[in-house]
Amino acid sequence: MSADPIPEREPPAASSDGRSRSLLRRIRNLDALDELPGRYRLQVLSGLLDETLKLANYSAVTHLIIAVAVTGFFWDSAPRAYLLGLLAFVAVVIAATIYTNRLYQRTYAEAGSEAGVTRGYRVAGILSLALGLAWATMPIVLFAPATSDERLLVVGISAGLISDAYVVGPLLSVSYLFAVPLIVGCFAGLARSGEPIALSIALVLLVYACFVGLSVSRMSRLSRRRILDRVRVEDQSETIGLLLNEFEENASDWLWETDEAGRFQHVSGRMAEALGCTIEVLQQSSFEILLATQAGARADADRAADLLEHLRLGRPFRECPVAIRTAAGPRWLRLTGKPFLDPRGGLAGFRGVGSDITQSREAEAHIARLATRDSLTGLSNRVMFHEAASAACAVPGPATEPGSAAGGPHLSLLYLDLDGFKTVNDTVGHGAGDALLCQVAERLAAAAGEAGHVFRLGGDEFAVLHRGRGEAEAERLAGTIVAALGEPYLIEGVRAEIGVSVGIARHPQDATDPEDLLRKADLALYGAKEAGKGRWRRFDRNLEMRVQRWRELDGAMRAGLANGEMELHYQPLVRLDDGAVIGCEALLRWTRPGHGPVSPGEIIPIAESTGFVITIGRWALRRACAEALGWPAAMRVAVNISSVHFRLPDFFGDVEAVLGETGLAPERLEIEITESIFLDNTPHVLGNLRALRALGVRIALDDFGTGYSSLRYLTQFPVDKIKIDRAFVRDLSSRPECLTVIKAIMVIASDLGIDVTVEGVETDQQAELLRARRCNSAQGFLYSPACPPREVSRLIERIPRSFERGRRVLQAAG
């Protein structure tokens, strides 16, 4: 019998049944693998069939469900006899598919015989063709007389069924036997309708069918290649294994052998050379003598004892490293040994291989030394910093006033962080960034001199441990570093400029241990950056008090939220056309008992750093939606959401749950976010934006124009409104360019279909200028500051009257 289970040619058929069988075999020849050796061909064909059959049962059940659905959908509009016939036929084919699949797996799959594979191909092709012919009748019968909605169902179901070709994709012939009749049936159904739209659908169907055909063909080729690779690997694994075993047995530097007492019987000249003695001397020795007298000097007694234990008990060992002291110095050996038996089954000795690994051990020791160095700059790294700082802090500090020579030297830690390095790294490239760090390291080392030990702690963070005669020296060094690192750099022909901020902490005045010293220097560094970067600052107690204030507020705000101390106030958003209040922005207010109001600008950064802002955001959403229910139905409520909260994958679920609990219509809720949310564009940001808009919730981009690449965000992320920052309104009358910027924003927003709200409106003149530029709405003290919920209804009535009076005054003055 031929190794190819799918013959290339068939004798001429004398009947229509013979012609159909011949056509079926020609289609099945698409899976022929004539170019492969016979030993591979059957295994590949069997693998392709197995992969297809793994999903056959799931596909079959899916077809049955679709048949039931089609019967239900068209029960009142199509011939019921046809629907029942289609359902029955599909059910029979599905039952046959499941049965033959199980039969194949139980009878032929394990054996992998040529006859079984051939029969599996034949049965799979017949069942696929039968199922394809059955489904081909559906568009022919149902499409032409159907309504538009029912036609949409027919087209959708047909397209989905065509995609089932992917399930049997590994078998290209089976895929075609199923998909081709169905595609032909779809064209026939479209032609039967005789309507102009059918031509358009037919063109789309043609493109889709071609795509499916090409994709299935490519998937089939990839499956064949993958299975063939696996078969070849399995076929060659035994040979490779034998070669590897042979290599492991013989790729040693030298051989050794001992008798049952452990004395050397055979030693290689290379072994004697490695140990620095003669073969005769070794043959009068043993491992026990060699290791007992030598290994102890290397402090490797435990490893040597373990090796001797294996030798005494007759247990094999592999690649056991031992240290030997020789006349030429210490040597490291790696030994592998196996026991061999005498004819009576007793231990006759050991045979094994050994190699001199002294050089590799020395290389490992060198690598260990390199582990204390930064690989890029050559400076000491963070590990070395902690060791050096611990040793330095263990030395007593100066015992007298600063500047005195009594006591130990003054130790100061300078903690450095580069300003603007990320910008250079992102714009010029990481290679240039690395070159820049190397130049920074050189300048730091030159500035620190012998009195300072420079470390790279990671990224663009550096530290200098400085010992000097007084604290003023460390401060002068900080000034020198700021000036030196602020000079321009030339990186690959490109001029780059960065700065550095430095925090200084002293030992023992500020801290007595390395961790606390680094923490104090970090606080001073934070103070330097907050003061404007490009400068140094020494640690003082005020910085620590600020940290304590943060910790105090962190605990107090959690208790305050739980105790009901926090509330929302609302600032109205006014339509500039007629002064109507169209919504309110919810603003957090916290009056701390015994301390008075606490600014949101102080607590929000704390909450964001600890993650508590998420709890506040959920509370604010629920409270704002509940209180907005008492407003007129046309009014919206806007809630500011932190980027920390918005980036969560379940943020959309939070909003959906709040709307469900409170009953507020989604279109009445407006979520305000800032541009900073897009700087760390996680996959969940865009997903939350799209899900919220699909639900009906509006998205507003707050503080627009003062952040980063604002215009780019308008094209990449879906928003409904932008809020122009108050900075543009403050100088509206005195700086014409502000009005020009607002006008430009309005043109862009209008073209994109985005509403515009202007913040910080305080005068009627500002409002009139904005109205003339067709701004949609405004908010600011001109209309009202944020007020408690109980005053919202009064604002709704008062603001339009005040708005009209203001317009009349301006018209009279104009």
CATH number, position 321: 3.30.450.20
Q: How far is CA 507 from CA 408, 468, 563, in A?
A: 11, 12, 43
Note whether 661 and 698 are same-domain residues.
Answer: yes
Q: What is the pLDDT of residues 617-668, one digit of tens each?
A: 999 999 999 999 999 999 999 999 998 899 898 899 999 999 999 999 999 9
> Residue 813: CB partners within 8 Å, gap ≥ 6?
none
Note whether 209 and 190 are same-domain residues.
Answer: yes
Question: 182 or 506: whose pLDDT is higher?
Answer: 506
Domain total for the chain? 4
* β-pairing verdict for 581-592 and 566-575: antiparallel
Give the phi and the psi of residue 395 in degrees, each rounded to 5.
-85, 130
DSSP state of 12: P
Domain finish residue from 504, 539, 574: 539
Assess whether pLDDT exceeds 70 at residue 679.
no
Residue 389 sits in a domain whose CATH number is 3.30.70.270
Give the phi and the psi of residue 379 in degrees, each rounded to 5.
-75, 165
| Average pLDDT of the residues in 569-596 | 93
| 585 band by pLDDT with thresholds 50, 70 and 90 | very high
Q: What is the pLDDT of residues 683-722, one digit of tens each?
A: 788 889 999 999 999 999 888 866 554 566 677 777 899 8
Percentage helix, strand, coil for the chain under 3-state DSSP, each rounded to 5: 60, 20, 25
Residue 124 corresponds to which tokens in the numbers above? 């799979």
Please report the pLDDT score of residue 121 as a whole number: 74
Note whether 678 and 800 are same-domain residues.
Answer: yes
The answer to the question of residue 66 being in a domain is: yes
Q: What is the pLDDT of residues 733-776, one digit of tens each?
A: 677 778 888 888 888 888 888 999 999 998 888 888 888 888 88
The answer to the question of residue 623 being in a domain is: yes
| Average pLDDT of the residues in 395-424 | 71
The answer to the question of residue 246 being in a domain is: no
The answer to the question of residue 788 being in a domain is: yes
Q: How far apart are CA 675 and CA 363, in angstroms?
A: 51
Domain finish residue from 314, 346, 364: 364
Residue 205 corresponds to which tokens in the numbers above? 């169907």
Q: How far apart are CA 372 and CA 49, in angstroms?
A: 57
Note whether 779 and 633 are same-domain residues.
Answer: yes
Please report the pLDDT score of residue 370 as a whole number: 72
Note whether 175 and 154 are same-domain residues.
Answer: yes
Q: What is the pLDDT of residues 219-260, one digit of tens each?
A: 777 877 877 777 777 767 666 555 544 544 454 467 778 888
Please report the pLDDT score of residue 411 as a whole number: 92
Q: How far is CA 609 from CA 176, 509, 533, 598, in A?
A: 59, 29, 21, 17
Structural domain range at position 96: 16-235
Q: How far apart are CA 202 and CA 205, in angstroms?
A: 5
Question: 151 or 401: whose pLDDT is higher?
Answer: 151
Assess whether pLDDT exceeds 60 at residue 610.
yes
H-type alpha helices, 394-463: 421-428, 430-448
| Average pLDDT of the residues in 121-144 | 81
Q: At what angle do helices 651-662 and 613-628 cross, to 10 degrees?
A: 30
Lowest mean pLDDT among 131-145, 289-303, 322-336, 523-537: 289-303
Question: 237 or 181: whose pLDDT is higher?
Answer: 181
Residue 242 corresponds to which tokens in the numbers above? 């034998």
Note whether 726 and 591 are same-domain residues.
Answer: yes
Note whether 340 and 221 are same-domain residues.
Answer: no
514 and 415 Cβ atoms separated by less than 8 Å:
no
Number of H helices, E strands in the chain: 29, 21
Please report the pLDDT score of residue 297 as a whole number: 43
> Residue 178: CB partners within 8 Å, gap ≥ 6?
128, 129, 131, 132, 164, 165, 168
Assess whether pLDDT exceeds 50 at residue 779.
yes
What pTM was estimated for this model as a whole?
0.47
Q: How far apart are CA 194 and CA 519, in angstroms?
A: 81
Note whether 510 and 570 are same-domain residues.
Answer: no
Residue 671 sits in a domain whose CATH number is 3.20.20.450
Q: How far apart are CA 41 and CA 228, in angstroms?
A: 9
The answer to the question of residue 748 being in a domain is: yes
Share of the chain above pLDDT 90, in %: 24
- Chain mean pLDDT for the chain: 80
Please report the pLDDT score of residue 712 as a whole number: 66
Q: How far apart are CA 449 and CA 447, in angstroms?
A: 6
Lowest mean pLDDT among 29-33, 370-374, 383-387, 428-432: 29-33
Note whether 581 and 698 are same-domain residues.
Answer: yes
Note whether 519 and 597 are same-domain residues.
Answer: no
Note whether 348 and 382 are same-domain residues.
Answer: no
Q: How far apart are CA 486 and CA 507, in angstroms?
A: 28
> Residue 322: CB partners within 8 Å, gap ≥ 6?
291, 295, 300, 303, 304, 307, 332, 333, 335
| Residue 88: Cβ within 10 Å count | 12
| 680 band by pLDDT with thresholds 50, 70 and 90 | low
| Average pLDDT of the residues in 552-569 | 91
| Average pLDDT of the residues in 127-134 | 82
| Residue 601: Cβ within 10 Å count | 7
Note whether 301 and 183 are same-domain residues.
Answer: no
The answer to the question of residue 248 being in a domain is: no
The answer to the question of residue 266 being in a domain is: yes
Identity of the residue numbered 578: D
Share of the chain above pLDDT 70, in %: 86
| Average pLDDT of the residues in 389-417 | 71
DSSP helix/strand/coil, 562: helix
| 727 band by pLDDT with thresholds 50, 70 and 90 | confident
Residue 671 corresponds to which tokens in the numbers above? 């979520």
Q: What is the pLDDT of residues 6-56, one digit of tens each?
A: 333 344 444 444 554 554 455 545 555 555 555 666 777 777 777 777 777
The answer to the question of residue 62 being in a domain is: yes
Please report the pLDDT score of residue 401 as a whole number: 43
Identity of the residue numbered 359: Q
